[in-house]
Amino acid sequence: MAEQDVVVDNRVAAVVIMAAGAGTRMRSAIPKVLHRIAGKSLVALAIDTADALEPDRLVVVVGHQREQVTQHLAEVAPHVTIAVQERPLGTGDAVRAGMSALPGITGEVVVTSGDVPLLTGQTLQELVAAHREDGNAVTLLTAVVPDPTGYGRIVRDGDEVARIVEHADASDAELDLTEINSGIYVFDAATLAEGLAALEAGNAKGELYLTDVVAHARAAGRRVGARILADHLQTEGVNDRAQLAERAAELNRRILAGWMAAGVTVLDPATTWVQAGVDLAEDVTLLPGTSLEGATSVSRGATIGPDTTLIDVEVGENARVLRTHAELAVIGPDATVGPFAYLRPGTELGVRVHVGAFVETKKAIVGDGAKVPHLTYCGDAEIGPGANIGAGTIFANYDGVTKSTSTVGAHSFIGSDSVLVAPVHIADGAYVAAGSTITGDVGPGELAVSRGQQRNIRGWVARKRSGTRTAAAAEAALNRAEAGDEGSAPMESGE
């Protein structure tokens, strides 16, 4: 009989995420857990990590500025249950608040934090697996760190954890220990409930420590184990802006490493930023100064950058996007965009479209093979396949009250410095002469010309700009013409 793959069940009864802290060192009107890394809030990243365990219940404990956090959670994670820690009385009190939302819970309860953005779902899965394998009542995630200052120290009894001592309460010998408590645990629900009920604030800070539940479990003769995480950076929290930047840079480095392993070329990882929700295909190339954000997706063979920001943009195969800012746009296969293009929401570029330097588009649908090469504002427009929009064209889409759409048909040509006053329709195979202002429709095969007749007013410079360098140059040119050096004088135009 063929050997079958073993399916590992990582599901747990509940996860409690502590997200109630004030984060005063952030010095911000924004709650700490709402600060963003890799395009997501810290608490949203924590929820994504917890979801890897497929918990029956997922509880987020809120406290400081709870209204903001609760509103955010309703938007990004409506499946979570909110619990409130009324006063900041420590981690034990926070988890007690979380457990109040889980009456009668049995099984495994994982406790984690809302400010450890590098923690992975795989790490939580491995922690749960170790908890089950060792038959523990409590299992801690620990790490050996270069500088354990501020962390609770792990005091061991053989392969078990005897106790956890907080930094403020540690003896000199205990301060020398380098294995630290990450604040991430797996509990048997009954052990957790009993330990929380027995908590007392007998410590230097006068708080209820979750770590005292470990001591309670030990006193009750239950096994307490620990899994040392080799990648200690996963346990690092965020307490201030400097740490936020450090964690963001490290998470970005890990995201880029993952994409490079999957076949993406990143020319300069130090200046390339890719958020967590981005999707990249094999043989995509990212050049220096590129930032890919939101739900951006880039297809095989495309090159992005340098100096390009894409937010919620879909890029087709083999497209080239250079020094461009784009948001909520679609760039078709083999299209070329930039440099210095601005694609605003609603832009859809077809196959082999070219959008060139200093072009701005908004709600513009550009058909296959069409070109908008330079210096154009193309807003509320539909451009047919193969059409060519000349330099300096303006789609005048707004009359002060209403925004209207103009259309340019297949293989039509709009001359440079033209204005299309919406709503107008330029039919297939039509031309608009350079410098025209178009206020009416143009039929198939027609040439539209809308501009005043040119007049050259002889002697105007001599009369109106006498004594200037321009007047001197004009006089010299006229003298040369009269002498025959430059041929005949220009034809006379009426005044």
Structure confidence at residue 495 (pLDDT): 39
In terms of C-beta distances under 8 Å and separation of at least 24 residues, what long-range contacts does 390-395 make, across chains too?
390/414, 390/415, 390/416, 390/417, 390/418, 390/434, 391/416, 391/417, 392/416, 392/417, 392/418, 393/417, 393/418, 393/419, 393/420, 394/418, 394/419, 394/420, 395/364, 395/420, 395/422
Structure confidence at residue 167 (pLDDT): 87
Residues 159 and 286 both lie in one domain: no
User: Can you give the residue range of the structural domain that contains 292?
Assistant: 254-448
Residues 181 and 281 both lie in one domain: no
Structure confidence at residue 8 (pLDDT): 64
Residues 293 and 413 both lie in one domain: yes
In a domain, 185, yes or no: yes
Residues 432 and 377 both lie in one domain: yes
Residues 276 and 364 both lie in one domain: yes
Residues 443 and 462 both lie in one domain: no
The whole model's pTM is what? 0.90
In a domain, 410, yes or no: yes
CATH number assigned to the domain comprising residue 87: 3.90.550.10
As a whole number of angstroms, the distance between CA 134 and CA 127 comes to 11
In a domain, 494, yes or no: no
DSSP-derived secondary structure for 429-453: T-EE-TT-EE-S-B-TT-EE---PP
Q: Show which of 201, 235, 269 is a domain's final residue.
A: 235
What total number of domains does the chain contain?
3
> Is 425 one of the catalytic residues?
no
Using 70 as the pLDDT threshold, list the residues of the chain that sit under it: 1-8, 203-204, 485-495
Structure confidence at residue 204 (pLDDT): 65
In a domain, 372, yes or no: yes
In a domain, 278, yes or no: yes
| 281 token code pair | 């295909």
Residues 212 and 293 both lie in one domain: no
As a whole number of angstroms, the distance between CA 47 and CA 60 comes to 9
Q: Sign of dihedral through CA atoms 345, 350, 352, 354? A: negative
Residues 38 and 112 both lie in one domain: yes
Residues 178 and 305 both lie in one domain: no
In a domain, 8, yes or no: no
In a domain, 243, yes or no: no
Annotated active-site residue in 167, 232, 374, 411: 374
Residues 360 and 288 both lie in one domain: yes
In a domain, 493, yes or no: no
CATH number assigned to the domain comprising residue 431: 2.160.10.10
Residues 158 and 39 both lie in one domain: yes
Residues 463 and 440 both lie in one domain: no
Structure confidence at residue 227 (pLDDT): 96
Instruction: Give pLDDT tens digits for 167-196.
Output: 888 899 999 999 999 999 999 999 999 999
